[in-house]
Structures are given as C-alpha cells and as structure tokens.
Amino acid sequence: MMGRISAAYNWFDERTAIRSLIRKGLYEAVPVRGAWFYTLGSATLVLILLQLITGIFLTLLYVPSVSEAWASLHYLAQHDAFGSIVRGIHLWSAYILLFVIGLHMVRTFFSGSYKRPRELNWVTGVGLFVLVLAMAITGAFLPWDQAAYWTAVVVTNIPVYTPFIGSFLRALWRGADTMGPTTLSRTFGIHVWLIPAILFPLIGAHLALLRKHGEFGSYVNYRGAYRSREGVDVPPAPAQRPIEPPYPAAPTDELWAAPLETEDFYPHQTFKDGVVSAGLVILVFILAVAIGAPLEAIADPSTTSYTPVPEWFFLPLDELLVLVPQQLIPLVLVLPTVGVLLLLALPFIDRDPERNPFERPAVMVPGAFAVLFVVLLTLLGSGRLFNL
C-alpha cells in the first residue's frame, strides 16, 4: 500500500515538481526571538480563508434582493442549524480578523518592519487593511434587517462629502440618489466579487514579498540592536549557521538585514503559527455556536422609532461625529482618508535604519497617540452598542 502511495507521489512529483515546492515553502530561515508575535500574519491568513469558505457556503442560500435577502437568512435561522453556525462563523471570524489584522499592523509598526527593503510589504499591507475593512462594511448591509438597512443609509451617505464628485459617488454606490433595490445588489457584487478580486491577488503579493526579503521580526535579533547600548558587547556574527537565503549576505547588511540566530520555518514557526491559528478558530466556533449571528426585524424604510446602533468597528468614527460640532463633520469624514495616506507614506518618511522602538520617538509617540485615540473613542462609544 505504502509503495503504491509513494509511486503515485513520485509520478505526481515528476510532472509538477511538488516535492521541491513543498521544501521551498517549509524550509526557510526565520529569526528565533519574538516568534510568537510573528504568528499574527498567518492567523490573519487563516481567518481570511475561513471567511472565504463560509462565504461560499452562504452564497448557496442567500438571495441578494430586497424582497428575499432577509427571508433567506430568516429561513436559515429557523430551519437550518448547520447553516446558522456557518453564518455565525462568517460573522465572528470577520470580527476577530479585524482585531488580529490590527494587532499584526501594530506589531510590524512597532518592530520597524516597514523599513528598507520591506516598504512594499507595508504598502501592500495597508491596502489589505483597507480592503478587509471594506469587506466588513459591505457585509454589514447584506442581511437587510433594520440594523443593516440603517447602517447602509448612514454609510452610503459618507461619499457625499467628497469635494466635487460627492453626489456622483453616492449615486454610484446606491444606484440612485436614494437607497433602493440596486443598493443591495450592487453592494453584494462589491462584497463577493470586486473586493475579493483585488484582496486575494494582493495577499499573494504580500506573501511573495515576505518570501523575497524574509521575516524581519524584531530588532532584538540583529547586531544593530546592540549598537547604541554603552558597555554591551556586540554579539559575534552568526557562527553556527551561515547567513541563509532569503537574508542578504553583504557585510553592510549585517547590522540590520540578517538575524543573528535563525531556525527553520518548519517545524518551529509552523508549530507556533498552528497553535495560535487553531486557538482562534476554536474561539470563533465557540462564539458562533454560543452567540451566533443576529438577525433583527426586516428592514422598514418608513420606520421612525428605530435607533440605529453602529457596528463596533465603526465606533471610533461614529463617536467622533457625535463629539464634534456640526460644521466640522465633513472634516471628520476626511480623517480616515488622511490616516490611510499617512500610513502609506510612512516607510518613505521614516527612512532611518534604526529599528529599536525606544530609539524612534518621532514615529512611536504619534503612533501610540493614534492607537490610544482610536481605543478611547471606541470605549466612549461602546455604551451605544448596548443601547445604554
């Protein structure tokens, strides 16, 4: 039996070179220290794949029309226990994904992983962050219950504040000046076709760049980390292991480019990646079974008594809109665009090779304030999630 399997594998390998592909994928040098923090990228990947699989299942039942969207999900809730869990997994993995991608971004910011030669790792990452947010926002419209409808009314109105072409952009999204049947079918198209068509190739580019440059990890892995500390001996250049691909071996790169101590991606890093990803998938499953995905009453555009509650990931922006005077609202809505542009520009503004976060106050202090500001606004607005 084993002989037959091995013969079949050899046959397949002769035609596809699968063996060397697997070797190339698994046996690569990664830095040793701080490796649990490097699990956040693969956890993001696993959660996105979970989204893809459960999303495909949901399209088998969901009908993207104003008259049937809610009814199809209501049917699921009433008559299909498996489908309801799939819907719960889709929702909870989206929520946890937003959280984990945020942590991955903070980690790479903190470790200065966006610096030369990894500027494009960061830039593709910012693109992925925006696309993942866009998935969450468009997905929130699809149940077409009261929460979804009123979220859609508020969110599709945001582009109207864009100078010159605001009304055009809003009409483009809604399909007309006001909300209507096209708003739902168009948003569905954006959610299942347009965004994934950009998102998945971009993930491919992000991972290809990661493989090209290798994991930077953290400054603690490099000779440069010891450079500025008085009285600390600079550790010798890696002796037991030669500098390996993908890390460059030029002497000038030694300070920042090649880690002092490396280990194989498999089994060391893959074990840690597996533990964290499996833990998150189990958490998603528990939340999906225990809490599930809510479905409010069917959307009623004529209602006057419904108080819309924003999705939690909208809270920072929503709270800011509540706090500022009316005249400043257009300015607040420009803020996310400015934030994304600043993030995209970061590797090209901060070009100093210093990676130690404690020696980069010009970037770390504004970065820490920005994170604190977002957390504070979320906490301030969180009362509204529970209608307090």
Which residues make up the interface to ligand HEM (CB under 6 A)?
38, 40-42, 44-45, 48, 101, 104-105, 108, 111, 113-114, 118, 121-122, 125-126, 128-129, 132, 203, 206, 210, 215-217
Closer residue to ligand HEM in complex, CB, 127/143: 127
H or E segment and range at residue 94? helix 81-110
- H-only helix segments in 251-313: 270-290
Q: Which two tokens stand for residue 159?
A: 């582009």
Q: Which two tokens stand for residue 284?
A: 């998603």
Closer residue to ligand HEM in complex, CB, 197/331: 197
Q: What is the DSSP string of 51-92?
A: HHHHHHHHHTT---STTTHHHHHHHHHHH-HHHHHHHHHHHH
Cβ atoms of residues 144 and 68 within 8 Å: no
Smallest distance from ligand HEM to CB 101, Å: 5
Smallest distance from ligand HEM to CB 347, Å: 9
Smallest distance from ligand HEM to CB 180, Å: 32
CA distance 252 to 320: 47
Task: Give the angle 186-191-195 at the CA atoms, nearest 5°.
Answer: 110
Closer residue to ligand HEM in complex, CB, 143/217: 217
Closer residue to ligand HEM in complex, CB, 144/216: 216
Cβ atoms of residues 147 and 308 within 8 Å: yes
Q: Which residues contact 115 (CB under 8 A, 6 or more apart)?
A: 256, 347, 350, 351, 352, 353, 355
Smallest distance from ligand HEM to CB 147, Å: 26
Q: Which two tokens stand for residue 37?
A: 């923090």
Closer residue to ligand HEM in complex, CB, 61/344: 344
Smallest distance from ligand HEM to CB 288, Å: 21
Smallest distance from ligand HEM to CB 336, Å: 14
Closer residue to ligand HEM in complex, CB, 295/346: 346
Closer residue to ligand HEM in complex, CB, 45/287: 45
Smallest distance from ligand HEM to CB 372, Å: 18
